[in-house]
Amino acid sequence: MKHSLVSLFAVVAVLGAQGVQAETLRLLTWGGYAPEEVIAMFEAETGHTVEVTTSNNEEMIAKLRATNGGGFDLAQPSQDRITSAQEEFGIYKPIDMSRVTADLFIPSMLSATAANTTYEGEVYGLPHVWGTSGLVVNTAMAGEVTDYTDLCDPSLTGKVSYRLKRPTLIGFAYSMGLDPFAAYGDTDAYQGILDEVEAMLTECKAIVRTYWDGGDEIKNLLRSGEVVASMAWDTGGWQLNADNPDITFVAPEAGALGWIDTFVLPARGRADDAAYDWINFVMQPEIAAMITNTAGNFTAAVDGDAGVSADLKARYQGSFDQAAIDNIKWYPPVPAGLEALEGATLDRINAAN
């Protein structure tokens, strides 16, 4: 009886400890990065629960800024939105690399993201999902569109679309023979580039059918034939290609714009254990492949493409030969204050007649 009671108390103690350790992970992420099946597997394995809020870069920064880094335990902004936001608002806390299973990450991407998210000697971001934006084209109706500025061809009046967001400014700048990333450290030079792009995009307003806001909106416009060429993400083009082989993602001649969405810890997050458990869980190859098959973009997980669908791999290879891959323009960290210049430029374009 004595031994039975001791054993029972031991079991209760273990279960109690597990209950104390279980946390609710408040995840601020992009659509498709936390599939329901993955969440269920994570919760079953760890005992944690997951609450997902989907968002985008601008909203993530705004939400964390409004709460001084509170309200969430793990967020996934792009790597170029980390050091400047930390410098201006102090909304993140450093990554404890001793709690990260580094072997799960592609070494080059891990080191590059660490370098791009280091602030005052501390690393603030880990790589997760990466991809590009460029052109999504109905090649049967607009096969001549091979670069960003081709969207302003008068022959396509009322048939093109893009967002009034910073990727449009960057893409058009490169297509115009300018180098915006090289000017990041020189505010005057960068403003000069913005002025040139502003002039072109203002003139181009007469060509554009609409400025799209969400991924579903532009996919529907392309699917219906109302729009035959657009700036958009690679995954959207590949999703459309599954239904219409004439529509696909095209890497622009000036270079697709490459991004990496990261893992960051909000400054006032309260479930760090769950956050690190989630990071290490989703970077396992088989889980990473599940996320790629859902989100449509590849991850920084070692061997994470092994379980990816053959169709998705084929579409990727159809859009990117080695030259196009080598020509990707990867977003560097955005210096503090630069987005204010871009915002003013975009506002003027939007207000122009």
CA distance linking residue 28 with residue 118, whole number of Å: 21
Tell whether 170 and 180 lie within a shared domain: yes
Same domain (yes/no): 270, 124: yes
Task: List the structure tokens of 229.
Answer: 């060429």
Q: Which domain holds residue 184?
A: 132-257+334-351
Residues ≥6 apart with Cβ < 8 Å to 226: 159, 209
pLDDT (tens digit per residue) in 29-70: 999 999 999 999 999 999 999 999 999 999 999 999 999 999
Q: Are residues 102 and 40 in the same domain?
A: yes
Using pLDDT thresholds of 50, 70 and 90, give the confidence band for residue 19: very low
Both 263 and 114 in a single domain? yes
Q: What is the pLDDT of residues 335-351, one digit of tens each?
A: 878 989 999 999 999 99
DSSP 8-state code for residue 97:
G
Asked if residue 5 belongs to a domain, the reply is no
Quick: pLDDT tens for 155-201.
999 999 999 999 999 999 999 999 999 999 999 999 999 999 999 99
**Could you tell me if residue 11 is inside a domain?**
no
188 lies in the same domain as 153? yes
CB contact set of 293 (below 8 Å; sequence gap of 6+)? 307, 308, 309, 312
| 12 domain-assigned | no
- Whether 329 is covered by a domain: the verdict is no
Beta partners for residue 119, in sequence order: 122
Residue 20 has pLDDT above 60, yes or no: no
Residue 342: other Cβ atoms inside 10 A: 20
Structural domain count of the chain: 2
Distance, in Å, from the CA atom of 267 to the CA atom of 276, rounded to the nearest integer, reads 15
| Separation CA 11–CA 229 (nearest Å) | 63
Quote the pLDDT of residue 9.
Answer: 37
Quick one: 93 and 212 in the same domain?
A: no
Among 220, 214, 213, 258, smallest CA distance to 239 is for 220
What does the pLDDT read at residue 112? 87
* Short-list 342, 264, 319, CA closest to 146: 319
Helix runs in 210-309, H state only: 215-224, 234-243, 272-282, 285-295
Cα 49 from chain centroid?
A: 24
* Structure-token match 């003139």, residue found: 203
Task: Report CA 134 to chain centroid distance, whole Å.
Answer: 14
Are 263 and 239 within one domain?
no
Statement to judge: residues 237 and 340 lie in one domain:
yes
**In a shared domain, residues 276 and 206:** no
In the numeric block, the tokens 């005057």 are attached to: 188
Domain membership flag for residue 15 = no
SS3 347: helix
Verify that 76 and 208 share a domain, yes or no.
Answer: no
Q: Predicted confidence band at 326 (pLDDT cuts at 50, 70, 90)?
A: confident
Record the pTM: 0.75
User: Residues 205-239: pLDDT tens digits?
Assistant: 999 999 999 899 999 999 999 999 999 999 999 99
End-to-end CA, the chain: 87
Contacts for 338 with CB less than 8 Å, ≥ 6 apart: 84, 184, 187, 190
159 residue type, one letter: K
How far CA 227 is from CA of 81, 88, 125, 217, 247, in Å, comes to: 31, 39, 37, 11, 11
Looking from the CA of 295 toward its CB, the CA atoms found within 13 Å total 25
Instruction: Quickly tell me which residue has 């859902």 as its tokens.
Output: 294
Do residue 266 and residue 171 come from a single domain?
Answer: no
The strand ranges marked E within 15-59 are 24-29, 49-54
The domain spanning residue 200 has which CATH number? 3.40.190.10
- Does residue 213 form part of some domain? yes
pLDDT at 4: 42
pLDDT band at 332 (very low <50, low <70, confident <90, very high): confident
Phi, psi dihedral angles at 51 (to 5 degrees): -115, 120
pLDDT digits (tens, 9 = 90+) for 91-145: 999 999 999 999 999 998 899 899 999 999 999 999 999 999 999 999 999 999 9
Q: Is the same domain home to 48 and 164? A: no
Mean pLDDT of the chain: 92
Exposure of 97 by Cβ count < 10 A (0-12 exposed, 13-18 middle, 19+ buried)? exposed
Tokens of 91: 């909304």
Q: Report CA-CA distances (Å) from 339 to 121, 166, 260, 309, 344.
A: 24, 8, 18, 37, 9
